[in-house]
Every structure is written in structure tokens, then in C-alpha cells.
Amino acid sequence: MKMNRALLVIFVLVIFVNLVSGCTSNHQVKPSNRKVNKPTVGEYFIKQSSYLNLYESETGFFPLHLIKVHDGPPMVSSTSEAKSFTLISDQGDIKTASYGYNNGSKGYNYQMQTLSLKLPVLKPGTYQVMSLRIEASGKTTIHQIGSWMIEVMPGKPPADLEIGKHTLASGELDMYMVELKNATKLPVKVESLYMNLNNKPIRIIPKIYRDFEIQKPLSDDALLKPGEKYTFVFKYPQLAGRFFTVKPQLVYSIGEATRSLSLPEAGYYPTLANDQEVLDLVNSISSIK
């Protein structure tokens, strides 16, 4: 009888301790990957608000983001076998010189991709691009890609400023950082960063820092003396949208002259926390197709 009671006590203790362990353990909670309403199989191009400023002598690239949705094994898509990509602009068609795909994350029925189109040499001027035509195996598809402005300037970039480290990509439209070194014999004043997003001209005044760690700010009107290198931080205003590509124009003065320089391209697009967010994004595109 005594033994039975001891057995019962030990049994209760084991159950109790196992229950307690459930409340004290360090759960590694993974994001939800539950199945959600599946969108139709196909390719979904993300609509961007973008601005590309380049010289006619410069090679330009046009990055597009898309999500390929497949059912079961990866689909044989029109883009993977595409023969030609043409940007449809208000100045006529722009047939791209070449292209390449870069895969991002993938899920059980989708693949996130970046399609990079190499632009041909363009004449100076302004081009508004809203859509992309893909021709493959005798089939033509047209995709809306948002609002893109390409501004081509004549000639070659001036050699007044050497470009060092600069922003390449960020998860949101936060800032453009660039290291600039004065390669002239005169002081340079960096005035602003210019771009046009959603047909809205935007001019941003910089904050100046001693280096790329941006912990030591300098006076807002600090001049870049010959041979000096500072970091310039341009904080964007709040704009509608989540996907942006910006190749901005820097405006600076040297002596009495005001000049401009096209800076390297930066992409601003969010990372997504889980399958649900990816498919929500696809659904938001398909609902406005």
C-alpha cells in the first residue's frame, strides 16, 4: 500500500514537472508559414516609383522585382525563356540591351526575383516609363511596372568629386548616404540631391558627417576643401509606396558655378517576414492588375 502511494506521488511529480517545463522553456517561435489563399499561377511585377539620372555616356540598369507563383514544381515561365524585353515610354519603345535574373527567397509555391535590364544608349532627354513588354515564343505580355522617370544628361560626368562608399539598398525609403572627396583645387559646397518620384520633383538638403559611420556631424554649411572627404546624408521625405529605385542627381557649387553629378543607383524595398506577407503582396498586385 505504501509502495503504491509512493508510485502515485512520483507519477504526479513527473507529470507536474513536465507541464512546468512547457512554460519555462525558451520557445523558438518561427514566423507563420501557414497556407493562405493561393493567388493565380503567374508572374507578378511590383510597381515602383523610380528615378534614374544618367549621362548619355553611362551604362544604365533598370531593376524590376517580381514574384513568380507556381503550383507544385516551379513553372516554366515566359520570362525564363524570354527573347526580348521592351520598356514602353512616352518617347517611344526602349528595347533593352540584355537582362539577368537574380533569385531571392522562395516558398512552397513562389520565387522572389529581381530582373535587371541593361538600358541601351539613350539620347539626352526625359523618358516616362510605365510598362514592360515581354516577347517570347511568339507570345507577347505587357506588365505594369509603376512610374519610372529616366533623365539622360548630355556628355560625361564631371571629375570634380570622387565617389566613395554609398547606399546600395535599404529596407525602406530612408536615406541616401554618399562619401565624396573633393578632387579640385577649390572648395566645393554640396547643395542638394535631386530626383523626381511620382512626377513630383524632390530636392533634399544634406546633413554632413566626418565619416561613413555618421556619428560625428559637421556644420550644415561645411565646405568640402580640396582633398577632403566627408559623408553626406540625404533623408527622404515620406512618400506613398514601398518600392523605389533612385539614381539621384547631386547639385553642388564650385566657385561661382553650379554643377551636377549623377550618383550611383540605390534600391529601397522591404524584406518580408513570412509567406503570408509575400502572398499578401501578390494579392495586392493581382487586385489592381
Partner 1 sequence: MKRLITMGLMILFLFSICGVASAHDLSGFLLQPQPLQVDVPDGGYPDEPGGTTLPDSGQIGIRHFYPGIHLHQMGSITNTYDTMVSRGEVASGYNGKPGADQLSFTIQKEVSNGWNANIGFSSDVVSGGVGFDVTWSDTKSWGYTATVNSHKTCHIGLKDCYHVKTFNCATIYYNTNGQITNVESGNGWARQWYKPHFWSWET
Footprint on residues 68-97 left by partner 1 (CB under 8 A): none
Cα radius of gyration (the chain): 26
Helix (H, G, I), strand (E, B) or coil at 32: coil
Q: Is residue 10 involved in binding partner 1 (CB under 8 A)?
A: yes
Query: Which grid cell sits at 102?
Result: 537574380
Instruction: Please identify, using beta-carbon distances, which residue of 101 and 187 lies nearer to partner 1.
Output: 101
Residues 157-186 that bind partner 1 (CB under 8 A): 164-175, 177, 179
Do 52 and 152 touch, CB atoms closer than 8 A?
A: no
Phi, psi of 177 (to 5 degrees): -110, 140
Residues 49-68 that bind partner 1 (CB under 8 A): 58-59, 61, 63, 65
Q: Is residue 210 involved in binding partner 1 (CB under 8 A)?
A: no
Sign of CA dihedral 129, 134, 286, 113: negative
Give the total of residues touching partner 1 (CB under 8 A). Answer: 73
Q: Is residue 24 involved in binding partner 1 (CB under 8 A)?
A: yes
Residues 115-154 that bind partner 1 (CB under 8 A): 116, 118
Give the interface segment with partner 1, choosing from 80-88, 128-136, 194-202, 274-282 (CB under 8 A). Answer: 274-282
Give me the least distance between CB of 33 and partner 1, in Å please.
9
Q: Which of 37, 137, 215, 219 binds partner 1 (CB under 8 A)?
A: 215
> What is d(CA 97, CA 109) in angstroms, rounded to the nearest whole number?
31
Q: Which of 1, 5, 26, 92 binds partner 1 (CB under 8 A)?
A: 26
Contacts of 231 (CB under 8 A, 6+ apart): 165, 177, 178, 179, 180, 208, 209, 210, 211, 212, 214
